[in-house]
Amino acid sequence: MVDTQNIVFLGLGLISGSLAMALRRSGWQGELSAWGPREPSLEQGLNLGVIDRYDLDFDRAIENADVLVIGAPPMATGELLGRVLGWIQRSDEQPIVTDLASMKGWVVERALPRYARFVPGHPIAGSENSGVTAARPDLFDGREAILTPEDSTDPEAVAWVTAMWQRAGSRVTTMSVADHDAALAASSHLPHMLAYALTKVLADDPLQPMHHGGGALRDMTRIAASDPVMWRDVALTNRSALIAAMQSVEQELARLRELIAAQDSAALEDYFALCRSIRRGHDAVLNPMVEPDEVSAKGVSDQTLEEQGSS
């Protein structure tokens, strides 16, 4: 890939800012610029060296872009995509366009007029902190970036976006829009809803159990601090897949609760042993490049686990 293209980020936040930093780290030669609705964020990005330049005028911002990366919450991504594709239809330009949104079906439905050089994308990385000040160049290291091109998508554009994510540190996979949305509803959107529901239940408890939390509670509620607008949009735009995933986990919880009520000791031990083995089997994919300080921060939970077998 040529690394002299000019990339314009439409919206500058945690993910788009981290992508810019990761590309910079890789020695990117082209210009990295941004447009956004709020000047302070753009100014912060400029001051932090995340971008080379910003422009508050939409048309002027995108006119020399080789590549447009839409980095906004889902609802805003849908709007910006329509705006960009309309502009492209009226112009002679053929920039590559990609997005970062957590669901792809809703976005693809809004990618009108149809444009072969739009490559729907979703990097599986993030943080409960939002905004460009939380951006970091290593956010994507070892993490998956999923692309969901369709048969009509320009293969050259797909190859370009693939190479971009690889330069940013990601491993790139492709899948269908429907598989992406169902898999991510389960692997990402559902965990967020669990963290939210858990946090709400604990906050409503007069015993204030959140004051007696250890590492388990820290980890199980961390993402409840995520951006409310972003997650409102995710819940609404991947609604049916998320509802199905939530129903599955509600049923599973009820099943587990019934095993506990029935005092089915053997079934419980089997259940938990299976989960230990599943989780350990996914350790590499879930902890792709763990830094030493992260290991010590993550290695603590509030179980009192002792040697077994005294009986």
**Is 4 or 298 the residue whose CB approaches a second copy more closely?**
298
- Out of 63, 66, 144, 150, the residue judged to bind a second copy by CB under 8 A: 144
> Which range, of 47-55, 85-93, 155-163, 184-192, touches a second copy by CB under 8 A?
184-192
Of residues 267 through 306, those in contact with a second copy by CB under 8 A are 268-276, 278-280, 282-283, 285-287, 298-306
Q: State the SS3 of 230-296.
A: HHHHHHHHCHHHHHHHHHHHHHHHHHHHHHHHCCCHHHHHHHHHHHHHHHHHCHHHHCCCCCHHHHH
**Is 152 or 263 the residue whose CB approaches a second copy more closely?**
263
> Which range, of 87-95, 106-114, 148-156, 180-188, touches a second copy by CB under 8 A?
180-188
- Out of 7, 14, 61, 97, the residue judged to bind a second copy by CB under 8 A: 14
Of residues 122 through 141, those in contact with a second copy by CB under 8 A are 122-132, 139
**Paired strand residues for 171:** 144
- Least distance CB 136 / a second copy (angstroms): 8
Of residues 18 through 77, those in contact with a second copy by CB under 8 A are 36-38, 41, 71-73, 75-77
- Least distance CB 239 / a second copy (angstroms): 6
- Least distance CB 266 / a second copy (angstroms): 9
- Out of 93, 156, 179, 291, the residue judged to bind a second copy by CB under 8 A: 179
**Is 116 or 175 the residue whose CB approaches a second copy more closely?**
175
Of residues 82 through 111, those in contact with a second copy by CB under 8 A are 100-102
- Out of 5, 7, 8, 10, the residue judged to bind a second copy by CB under 8 A: 10
Of residues 191 through 250, those in contact with a second copy by CB under 8 A are 191-203, 205, 207-232, 234-236, 239, 242-243, 245-250
- Least distance CB 134 / a second copy (angstroms): 8
